[in-house]
Amino acid sequence: MIPINYYIILSAVLFTIGTLGVLTRRNALIIFMSVELMLNAANLAFVAFARAREIATGQPLFDGQIFVFFVIAVAAAEVAVGLALIVEIFKSKRSIDVDQMSSMKG
Amino acid sequence: MLFSEATPSGFFFLAPWLVFAPVIGLLINIIFGGRFSEKVIGTVASLASGASFIVSVLLAWSLAAGGGHAVSVPFAEWMHIGSLELDWTFRVDSLSTTMMLVVSGVGTLIHIYAIGYMHEDVRFKNDLGRFRRFFVFLNLFIAAMMILVSGDSYLMLFVGWEGVGLCSFLLIGFWYEMDTLGRPSWANSNAGNKAFITNRVGDFGFLIAGFIMFWAFGSFQFDEVFEAARTVAPGIIVAITLFMLIGVAGKSAQIPLYVWLPDAMAGPTPVSALIHAATMVTAGVYLVTRSAELYMLVPQAQYIVAMTGAVTALFAATIAVGQYDIKKVLAYSTISQLGFMVAAVGMGAFVAGMFHLVTHAFFKALLFLSAGSVILGLERGHHHLAHAQHDDHGKGRKGKKDSHHEDEVFDPGDMRNMGGLRKTMPVTFWLYMIGTLALAGIFPFAGFWSKDEILADALKEGFTGVYWLLSIAAFFTAFYMGRQIWMVFFGEARHEAAAHAEESPRVMTVPLMVLAFLSVVGGALNLPGMHTLTLWLEHTIEVHAGEFVMSVAVISTLLALAAILLSWFIYGRDPLKAGQPDPLKKPLGFLFTGMENKWFVDEGYFAIVIGPFKRISQFLADVIDWRFWHDFVHDTVIAGAYNWFSNIALNRYADQQGIDAFANWLGSATKSLSATMRRVQNGFVRSYALSVLLGVVLIVGYLILK
Amino acid sequence: MEFLLQPLTLLTFFPLVGVLVLLFIPSDNKNALRWTALGASLVTFGISLWVLAQFNASNVDLQLVARYDWITVAGWNIQYFLGLDGLSILLVLLTAFLAPISILSTWTAVEERVKDFMLFFLLLEVGMMGVFLAQDLFLFYIFWEFTLVPMYFLIGIWGGPRRIYAAVKFFLYTMAGSILMLLAILWLGIYGQTFSVPDLIAQANVPANIQWWLFLAFAAAFAIKVPMWPLHSWLPDAHVEAPTAGSVILAGVLLKMGTYGFVRFNLPLFPEASVRAAPWIALLATIGILYGAMVSYAQKDVKKLVAYSSVSHLGFVMLGLFAMNEQGVAGAILQMINHGLSTGALFLLVGMIYEQTHTREMKVYGGLWKITPVFGSIMLIVSLSSMGLPGLNGFVGEFTILLGAFGSKSIGTNVYAILSALGVIMAAVYILYMFQKMFLGPQGEIVDEVKKHGHGIRDLNLRELVTIVPILIFIFWIGLYPKPFFDLMAPAVAHLVGMLPIP
């Protein structure tokens, strides 16, 4: 039985790595992967807490797991849309460097 | 039910065939008629009408065998709503069978006659296809008339009443694209419309009478109405009977609604004979007789009916004197004779009225059909003449009607074109003479007996005014008929067509001979002392045998003879020459102008009713409805006000100077604010992500440290 | 599935299946589009007959009810509630009957944007069915307003030269009245805690003074639709500009929505106010009858003549409804059907001749009966039916209405009935005038005019006969044997009349 703290720490580490990746990298694909990392960090925390709660109450509870499925599904959709966008952007700009995508500059 | 509930023996179950025989006839002609020859079409139609006659005979026989008690034959439910219960039931009693016999009997004869007449008519008018249509309409008429006379309630009577009106409209406007002379014109169709609309005015009265009846008595059924009528206030009965009189005036062409009947002569002659002389126009007389029990309750209404009839009889007779068209004379004569009948039934002399109805059906049909024979004879003469002329000139033009005389329009119905036809059309002449003598009331012809009974009853019932009016009308009757005989058959031909006139074929003259026979012996129906018709009708309505008053008979016969003598003095002694004006024109002056122009009643109606109606309609439609209500109120005021409000008031003032000004200020303020804020938007994704992270950190920090 | 297979749901929404199929047919395949629309409307008609077979006339309650909660939020209780009773069955059948006929009439008349036309037409059918079947005020209102949209486009796209004007006027005029009705509906729904019509009738707790205002608000919407004099100004525009099928449906069904509204909502929901209003409505109806008849007579455009005749005919219907006795109300309901048939047929016939001549000016016609005997005879029958000749349908309706109005206790005087009976004379005047100017008399100039451009005027072809003959059958059937039709509605009418507090 692994204590819950371990999971939380792992989750936090993963989340931080993801956050740093998003903030520091310029390649859109890498940023995308970092976002996935953050999502999965959250998933890990969900599952961990759900398991802990199940043990604490002694009842089968699946709220956390269900949430994870939602997140995975949404992530998949997001990837589909995001990748399509990146492909379109690449087609027009021949680059996926996010710093070049500043047409929204006010 | 007041009459016997026991299932009556006899042929009563056949009653629906009165209506359905002609309906089947017309359906056969509609569906298969296209492939039939004229003979077959005519035969089918005549057989259908004849079947109706046979049913009538069987019904009458069954009725007589059963002691004359009225029998009702239920056929179908029609309208049942709440307290309204209307069924289509046939009523067989002595009154309705009398009418059935007249309608189908005379009707069948006229069907047969029409085979010959229409054969030539469609050829003169150059549209062979219309032969079939004519017989379809004629059968439809018989069916509608049978519904009228056989109905067991006022409503079924009304159904037939409107139905015959429709047939009248269709047949008057039969040659709808021309006038009576065959020229392209609206005249015939106008005559049809006039008949229908005038009749509708009468129907309006009938309808209102029906409404009062229903709410006062709760029924339209004859026996139930009569039963209930004895218990209600006389005021209601007066209202019913007088509204009904409007209907009678419309259908039976009485003052003030008679104006359609003379125009109705636009229809082919068999139509004039059948519908506008013998049967349909007598429906009003039948209605009053049928409602005898109502009229007997209110003497004041009876008086009005009698006076209406008497005044009409005289008024129309005066007009007949001034007419030149052979059919127009007969038309006014019909109005006048209908006046006799209405006066009779108004006085309560129902048997006399019905008697005159029957005899009049015989001799007036005879007269009209003979007139038709005369007209066709002249047409033939004219046709023959035209061909001869063309052959002489060697042009060999096709015998199309309108190419005969480009400059002159020949009117075969105008008595001024006739003269001397006694020699060229001898059969027709003798038939016409019989009809004339019957109409003039010369002993022993049918008209003598029936008219005499009316006059005698008038004196007996104390209607002295009516008696004198009718006697003078009878004098005029004999006079205009005498005038007609002299002008048409005596003297010299005033037109070449008359000189070359040809006699009509057997198919036309044989039915005429039957009618002539009936006109001679028709008086036997109700001879004084025998009272056959009285005894027969007694089963249905409360009647009393009329007495034969020798003095009345002598006076009326002397009057008629004097009138004929007078007419000989004026027209016979010194026959009219071609182009010569009527000899009465000079001595009578403006009186004759009045007679000639029908006392300007049509013009009066136009000035008082039709013209104003047209003008008001036009005014309502153009000015009130369109220019005022549609264009001004809706488009100008409502739509315009809305436009003004939205464009000027809201758009210019409220919007541009109020709201817009505020919005503009808001816009510029936002703009200056955003100018400072825009620097945040550097367009780099990572800086946005960083700000999100900072935000999250701030919120989470706040939540933790709270 | 249970929801979809309810007979009334199916009846209302089946045309949508046709719409769905139409969407997948290419726009240039016109005949496929036409056949699809015709098929959908024919199936709908079949469903209506199936509904008729299940209908029990002796039951005065709503039948074949489909009822589900729909919007239940914040104390509002709006339901999806369809039902059928003797007051509406005939109108439902009429709607289902006229739809395929109208579609047939467009076969050659509509050549442009056939797909859109058929789409709008089927949508319109959904709306009309919904109006006659909805028993929830809110649902009713939605269907009521929904019918405006397709009709707006039918007039606005396929109409005559002034179509935009006519379409906008039609839309705005009707909307103006509907808004008042919406307010009244909301008031009733909040006050009564339900929008269900039978529940509101059962509660019968609206105070008399408020009843009066609610009555007026409902009456405003319905009177415009009928249209009652003097709110008829949109009608001639809409009729003249609408394409033939639009005119047929407009005269045949849409106008009946107004009179139906009176009988379904005004009379039972506000009985006291209705009785109070009866003499006034009768007055307006009588004016409408006479005014419509006279204005009709003065028209030169045949379509306008028929349009104004509707004002006159629907005056009879209103008079009968507010006579508030069995004869009057039953006659009025039957007259709604009769008017749908006769005036619908008149518009069809006028459309058929217009297709050949491209003019509606009566003065250029004349003598057509000779050239087109079948067409002339059918026109004559329909005209006679329209002017109320016994033996044809118009008489049965007009007679019972006038009979009812003459003895009506709610109207209180028989003057209106007598004056309205004068309208029967005037009907003969304008109808015969029309028939004469077009079909009788010498040959009109249009005959040669048409001949110059081709074959000349022809008689009815098979498709046109198929279009018109079903109507003729009913014209004769109702005229000769109206019993089945009266039987369908008599118990419901008796029930309705029994509810009214007639003095």
pLDDT tens digits for C355-400? 888 888 888 888 889 888 899 999 999 999 999 999 899 999 999 9
Is pLDDT of B148 > 70?
yes
A24 shares contact with chain B (CB less than 8 Å)? yes
DSSP state of B175: T
C-alpha–C-alpha distance, residues B545 and B529, integer Å: 9
Q: What is the pLDDT of residue B504?
A: 82
Contact C227, C312 (CB under 8 A): no
pLDDT tens-place string over residues B103-132: 999 999 999 989 988 888 888 888 888 899
A38 shares contact with chain B (CB less than 8 Å)? no
Q: What is the pLDDT of residue A2?
A: 82
DSSP, collapsed to helix, strand or coil, labels residue B74 as strand
Query: In the 3-class helix/strand/coil scheme, how is B425-447 assigned residue by residue?
Result: CHHHHHHHHHHHHHHHCCCCCHH
Is pLDDT of C41 > 90?
yes
Is pLDDT of C337 > 80?
yes
Q: What is the pLDDT of residue B395?
A: 42
The minimal CB distance from B163 to the residues C391, C443, C490 is found for C391
CB-CB neighbours of B65 under 10 Å: 12
B200 shares contact with chain C (CB less than 8 Å)? yes
Kindly state the average pLDDT of the residues B2-30: 79
Residues in chain C, how many? 503
pLDDT tens-place string over residues C90-108: 999 999 999 999 999 988 8
Best of B673, B685, B693, B694 to substitute, by most chain A Cβ atoms within 10 angstroms, is B685
CB contact under 8 A, C425 and B201: yes
If one looks up domain A4-94 in CATH, what number appears? Answer: 1.10.287.3510
Helix residue ranges per DSSP H, C106-162: 114-133, 137-146, 148-158
C-alpha–C-alpha distance, residues B69 and B72, integer Å: 10
Q: Kindly provide the b/e burial profile for residues C267-295, where b requires at least 16 CB atoms within 10 angstroms of the residue's own CB.
A: bbbbbbbbbbbbbebbbbbbbbbbbbbbb
Q: What is the pLDDT of residue B390?
A: 60
Best of C170, C383, C409, C418 to substitute, by most chain B Cβ atoms within 10 angstroms, is C418
Best of B686, B692, B697, B700 to substitute, by most chain A Cβ atoms within 10 angstroms, is B686
B68 CA: distance to closest CA in chain C (Å): 31
Phi, psi of B151 (to 5 degrees): -65, 150
C414 shares contact with chain B (CB less than 8 Å)? yes
Mean pLDDT, all residues of chain B: 85
The minimal CB distance from C421 to the residues B159, B208, B625 is found for B208
The minimal CB distance from A105 to the residues B674, B681, B690 is found for B681
A2 shares contact with chain B (CB less than 8 Å)? no
Best of C241, C291, C295 to substitute, by most chain B Cβ atoms within 10 angstroms, is C295
A27 shares contact with chain B (CB less than 8 Å)? no
Q: What is the pLDDT of residue A44?
A: 93
CB contact under 8 A, B693 and A19: yes
pLDDT tens-place string over residues B565-621: 998 888 878 777 777 777 777 777 788 887 788 888 888 888 888 888 889 888 888
C-alpha–C-alpha distance, residues A98 and B686, integer Å: 8
Q: What is the interface pTM, i.e. ipTM, of the complex?
A: 0.91
Kindly state the average pLDDT of the residues B438-459: 88
C chain contacts of residue B128, beta-carbon cutoff 8 Å = none
Q: What is the pLDDT of residue B81?
A: 84
Q: What is the pLDDT of residue B3?
A: 45
The minimal CB distance from A101 to the residues B674, B685, B693 is found for B685
Kindly state the average pLDDT of the residues B148-173: 92
The minimal CB distance from C483 to the residues B77, B176, B190 is found for B77
Going by pLDDT thresholds of 50, 70 and 90, the confidence category of residue A95 is confident
B620 shares contact with chain C (CB less than 8 Å)? yes
Is pLDDT of B392 > 60?
no
Q: What is the pLDDT of residue B546?
A: 67
Is pLDDT of B170 > 70?
yes
Of all residues in chain C, the percent with pLDDT exceeding 70 is 100
Structure token digits, residue B461:
């019932």
C-alpha–C-alpha distance, residues C300 and C437, integer Å: 10
CB contact under 8 A, A22 and B686: yes
Please, which residues have CB within 8 angstroms of residue B109's CB and are 6 or more apart in sequence? B365, B511, B514, B515
B618 shares contact with chain C (CB less than 8 Å)? yes
The minimal CB distance from B682 to the residues A22, A24, A105 is found for A105
B220: closest chain C residue by CA: C403
Contact C322, C417 (CB under 8 A): no
Q: What is the pLDDT of residue B8?
A: 58
Going by pLDDT thresholds of 50, 70 and 90, the confidence category of residue C37 is very high
* Residues 630 through 649 of chain B touching chain C, CB cutoff 8 Å: 630, 633-634
Chains B and A touch (3+ CB pairs under 8 A): yes
B176 CA: distance to closest CA in chain C (Å): 5
Which secondary structure element, helix H or strand E, spans residue C199, and what is its range? helix C197-203
B chain contacts of residue C493, beta-carbon cutoff 8 Å = 81
Contact B273, B369 (CB under 8 A): yes
pLDDT tens-place string over residues B515-527: 899 998 888 888 7
CB contact under 8 A, B207 and C402: yes
Best of C403, C411, C469, C493 to substitute, by most chain B Cβ atoms within 10 angstroms, is C403
Is pLDDT of C250 > 50?
yes
Q: What is the pLDDT of residue C416?
A: 92
CB contact under 8 A, B677 and A106: yes
CB contact under 8 A, A99 and B686: yes
Q: In terms of C-beta density within 10 A (0-12 exposed, 13-18 middle, 19 or more buried), how is residue A4 classed?
A: middle
Going by pLDDT thresholds of 50, 70 and 90, the confidence category of residue B407 is very low
Q: Kindly provide the b/e burial profile for residues B489-526, where b requires at least 16 CB atoms within 10 angstroms of the residue's own CB.
A: bbbebbbbbbbbbebbeebbbebbbbbbebbbebbebb
Contact B81, C486 (CB under 8 A): yes
C-alpha–C-alpha distance, residues C285 and C279, integer Å: 10
CB contact under 8 A, C493 and B81: yes
C-alpha–C-alpha distance, residues B55 and B49, integer Å: 10
